[in-house]
Structure 1
Amino acid sequence: MKRLVAVLAAVALLASIGTGVLVWQLSRDHGPGSPEISAFSHGNLTRVGPYRYCQVFNPTDCAVPAEQGELAVDARHPVQLSIPSAISRAPWVLLRAYTDDDIVEIVPPHTRLAVTIPTEDPERGRLTGIAVQLPTWVRDEAGNEFPVPHAEWAVQTVWPDEPAGDPQPAE
């Protein structure tokens, strides 16, 4: 009888500890997660967090999770890129990388939450990737001011005739 009571007490103690740990984990303030962008094309969707995310006032203090999304694309269907308001409330940069040339566009704050991107451009070739950047203006020792991205999200495109993770230039 004493053994049964001891076992039941041990089980009750372990269950109480487990419940306490679970309640503590669920009630902790995990804080907001990093913003994610999403890209969609012809039934394929990828959501990706930042490749690099630095402190705005200290652009050398960075977390680099190195996340990069991959999106299967073809020539007939454009990419629909969605940007959360956490990114779009500031000026942001959209980089569209094509095989022959890139397009860099500065987007004013509060103007766009979505962008349609052609997967092929007659003058630039195939779309190889997309990057979204949040710039911070910095000043060097000589007093020159220039933008440096403090956060960046990246999506690599995967064409049907290419293996994932190894884009090849169009011929």
Structure 2
Amino acid sequence: MKRIIAATAAAAVVLASAGTGTLAWALTRNDDSHLPEISAYTGGQLTRVGPFLYCNVLDLNDCETPQTQGELRANERDAVQLSVPSAIASAPWRLVLVYEDPDNATISTFRPDTRLAVTIPSVDPQRGRLTGVAVQLLTLVTDGTDEIREVPHAEWSIRVVWANGEQSG
């Protein structure tokens, strides 16, 4: 009985995630720009970037791979202001922050309709300089062992280059 309840709950989670992802995809597919963009601002400069990868949430083999990557020049004084459009924020999304030691990346996940912007310090006291930012839209999938896991079906990427000309990461 417990297996049936667990399987039913897992199926409901997968269907809810797929529905949310489909909504985000449907909201953006008829846009003139075709795919949503994120923006980041620091130290008087702004970058807007389209996705690095963007897959159909219902068929993860149907992907566009423009491999677009934004770039920001950072300094230790100014934080990075990241903004995502409602087409991304209306779905569960993940923020990945990469630092000088890539093993110290941090991951934050936001529920639908809870965040359109995030302030990111350019230097973390424990992790060092920020070297990259990624935004991901998530889909729940089952693997061969029937385990449910999150997989990004879309990702936006921004490389952080330090003002002294040294690129971290």
**TM-score class, shorter:** 0.7 to 0.9
> Which residue in 2 is equivalent to 1:37?
38
Read off the aligned partner of 1:168 and give its amino acid letter.
S
The alignment of Structure 1 onto Structure 2 pairs a total of residues equal to: 137
Aligned AA (1:87) = I
Amino acid at match of 1:90: A
Greater RCO, CA 8 A, separation 6+: 2
1: CA distance between counterparts of 2:165 and 2:125?
Answer: 20
Equivalents in 2 of 1:61, 1:82: separation in Å?
27
Deviation at 1:114, TM superposition (A): 0.5
What's the offset of the Cα at 1:160?
A: 1.4
User: Which amino acid letter does the alignment assign opposite residue 50 of structure 1?
Assistant: P
Check whether the contact 1:75–1:119 (CA below 8 A) recurs between aligned residues: yes
1:1-171 matched pairs, under 5 angstroms: 31-32=30-31, 33-100=34-101, 101-163=104-166, 167-168=167-168
Aligned 8 A contact 2:53 2:155 in 1: yes
Displacement of 1:135 after TM fit?
A: 0.6
Whose radius of gyration is greater, 1 or 2? 1
Q: Aligned partners of 1:53 and 1:124: how far apart in 2?
A: 29
Three-state SS of the structure 2 residue aligned to 1:35 is coil
* TM-score, normalization by structure 1: 0.77
TM-score of the two chains, using structure 2 as the length reference: 0.78
CA–CA distance in structure 2, aligned partners of residues 168 and 96 of structure 1: 13
Distance 1:98 1:85 in 2: 27
1:49-99 deviation per Cα after TM superposition (whole angstroms, max 9, x unaligned):
000000101112110000000011100000000010000001100001111
Distance between the aligned counterparts of 1:168 and 1:143, measured in 2? 39
For structure 2, the 5+ residue unaligned runs are 1-28
Question: Which residue does the alignment assign to 1:8?
Answer: none
**Structure 1, unaligned stretches of length 5 or more?**
1-29
Contact 1:162 1:168 in 2 (8 A): no
